[in-house]
Amino acid sequence: MAGYYVEEDEASPQEPPWLQGEGRLKAERIAEHFAEIMRTLELDLEDPHLHQTPARVGRMYMEIFRGLQREHEPAITCFPNDEGYSNMVIVKDISFFSVCSHHMIPFFGCAHVAYIPQHRIVGISKVARIVDFYARRPQLQERLTEQVVDFLMERLEPLGAMAVLEARHLCMEMRGVGKTGAVTTTSAIRGCFHDKGVRNEFTELLGKHDR
Ligand SMILES: [Zn+2]
């Protein structure tokens, strides 16, 4: 029927995976608590623009924090490195959004990931999925960086891996020191990337890229 639309907060027959089963119950519980925060702020929950907000926030939290649920870990298909490829594989400019553990507001930016394969290689798009999985939870940029390389080391057993993350933290921009546009860079190094020559090959490549 023309003009028919589904209310955003109505349960749709096919909920996204993070709102199924336990996820739905958690979203409802978060909504109750968020309503209490809003009442504490003396917001009028009867206002049409606020009325559905607790439910919306509950569902959104389950979405942006879906990396907390182990079952959302990306399925990583590895391929045997039959060609014996032994050069560096670099995936640059993977954008990510995360939420700061300390303040529960976003930090976001770009991840650059490199590894040197041994027996196994991974589909390039999977590297982005790994970053996304670990970003979708309350995080510290340092820990996110470490988790990405650890995952690669564990699953691929490469000769080495490295990640560089550049991010803006809204907890530094919207509040606190109020410094707009400051970029925080973190890196994590494993295996052969401890070798300065190997590391330079990667960082030089990043340096050439105008950001
Ligand atoms: Zn923070």
The Cα angle at residue 48 between residues 47 and 54, in degrees rounded to 5: 80
User: Which single residue is written with the structure tokens 């400019």?
Assistant: 93
Q: What is the pTM of this model?
A: 0.87
Q: Annotate 130-194 with DSSP letters as a single string.
A: HHHHHHSSEE-HHHHHHHHHHHHHHHH--SEEEEEEEEEEHHHHTSTT--TT--EEEEEEEEGGG
Give 107 Cα–ligand 1 centroid separation in angstroms.
8
Give 60 Cα–ligand 1 centroid separation in angstroms.
19
Per-residue pLDDT of the chain (211 residues; tens, 9 = 90+): 344 444 455 555 689 999 999 999 999 999 999 999 999 999 999 999 999 999 999 999 999 999 998 888 888 888 888 888 889 999 999 999 999 999 999 999 999 999 999 999 998 889 999 999 999 999 999 999 999 999 999 999 999 999 999 999 999 999 877 788 899 999 999 999 999 999 999 999 888 544 4
Give 163 Cα–ligand 1 centroid separation in angstroms.
21
Domains of the chain: 17-70 (1.10.286.10), 78-208 (3.30.1130.10)
Give 151 Cα–ligand 1 centroid separation in angstroms.
24
Give 53 Cα–ligand 1 centroid separation in angstroms.
23
